[in-house]
Amino acid sequence: MEKGGFKRLNFKEALKLFFSFSLGVWIQAILSFFSIPVITYLISPAEFGKSTMYSTVYSFLLVVVLAGFDQSFIRYFYEVEEKRRSELFWTSLFSPLILFVIISLLLFAFNESLSLFLVGDKNHPMAGLVSLSLITGVLQTYNLAVIRMQKKGFLYSTVFVVQSLVNVGVTILYALYFGRNFYAIVWGQIFGNGFSFLVGTIFEHSNLLPVKVDSDLLKKLALYGLPLLPSALLWWLFQWISRIFLRTFSTFTELGYFGVAFKLSYVMYLINSGFQNFWFPVAYETYEKDRENKKLFIDAAKVISFVMVLFALVVIGLKDLLFYIMARDYRPASLTLPFLLFPPVISSVLAVTARGINFLKKTYWFIVSDGLCLLINSLLNYLLVPGLGARGAAISTGLSFIVLLTFETFVSMKLYPVRYPLEKIYSAIGLLLFVSLFATFVSNPVAVGGVSLIAIIALCLVYADLVKIGITEIKKFLKGS
> Following DSSP, what letter does each residue of 430-461 receive, concatenated?
HHHHHHHHHHHH---HHHHHHHHHHHHHHHHH
Among 196, 226, 256, the domain-final residue is 226
Among 180, 191, 153, 138, CA closest to 281: 153
pLDDT at 164 over 90: no
Clarify whether residues 192 and 271 are in a common domain: no
If asked whether residues 386 and 465 sit together in one domain, one would say yes
- At residue 393, what is the residue type? A
Q: Which carries the bigger pLDDT value, residue 431 or residue 321?
A: 431
Does 134 share its domain with 243? no
3 backbone dihedrals φ, ψ, rounded to 5° = -140, 125
Count the domains in the chain: 2
The residue from 209, 226, 243 where one domain ends is 226
170 with 285, same domain? no
Residue 439: which of 314, 354, 310 has the closest Cα? 314
For 337-353, the pLDDT digits (tens) are: 999 999 999 999 998 99
Residues 316, 198 within the same domain:
no
Q: Give 295: exposed, middle or buried? Use CB within 10 Å, 0-12, 13-18, 19+.
A: exposed
Is residue 76 predicted with pLDDT exceeding 90?
Answer: no
208 and 249 inside one domain:
no
Distance CA 218, CA 230 (A): 19
Same domain, 44 and 81: yes
Same domain for 73 and 172, yes or no, is yes
- The Cα–Cα gap between 253 and 457 comes to 37
Three-state SS for 43?
Answer: coil
Segment 28-38, tens digit of pLDDT: 777 777 777 78
Q: What is the pTM of this model?
A: 0.74
Q: Where are the beta strands (DSSP E) in 225-363?
A: none
> What value does the mean pLDDT of the chain take?
84
User: Are residues 126 and 72 located together in one domain of the fold?
Assistant: yes
Kindly tell me if the per-residue pLDDT of 199 is higher than 50: yes
**Per-residue pLDDT tens for 214-237?**
788 888 888 887 877 887 788 788
What per-residue confidence (pLDDT) applies to 135?
94
Return the amino acid letter for 158: T
The C-alpha R_g of the chain, in whole angstroms, comes to 22
| pLDDT value at residue 2 | 39
Please name which of 3, 53, 478 lies closest in space to residue 254, comparing C-alpha atoms.
53
340 secondary structure, DSSP code: G
Instruction: Give CA separation, 58 vs 24, 62, 114, in Å.
Output: 24, 6, 11
Domain containing residue 268: 229-481
Question: Last residue of a domain, which of 170, 197, 226?
Answer: 226
pLDDT (tens digit per residue) in 417-464: 888 999 999 999 999 999 999 999 998 999 999 999 999 999 999 999
3-class DSSP state for residue 6?
Answer: strand
Burial class of residue 34 (count of CB atoms within 10 Å of its CB; 0-12, 13-18, 19+): exposed
pLDDT of 207 above 70:
no
pLDDT at 6 over 60: no
Query: In this predicted structure, what is the pLDDT of residue 15?
Result: 57
Exposed, middle or buried: residue 132 (CB in 10 Å: 0-12, 13-18, 19+)? Answer: middle
Q: Do 206 and 334 reside in the same domain of the chain?
A: no
User: Are 103 and 252 spatial neighbours (Cβ–Cβ below 8 Å)?
Assistant: no
Give yes or no for a contact between 429 and 309, defined as CB atoms under 8 angstroms apart.
yes
**Strands in 213-308 per DSSP E:** none
Chain segment 117-129, per-residue pLDDT in tens = 777 777 788 889 9
Percent of the chain with pLDDT over 70: 91
Residue 201 parent element (H or E) = helix 182-203
Least confident of 194-198, 327-331, 385-389, 397-401: 327-331
DSSP state of 3: B
Residues 178, 128 share a domain: yes
Sorted by sequence, the CB contacts under 8 Å of residue 328 that are 6+ apart come out as none
* Interhelix angle 153-177/252-289, nearest 10 degrees: 170
Same domain, 155 and 252: no
Cα angle 372-377-382, degrees, rounded to a multiple of 5: 130
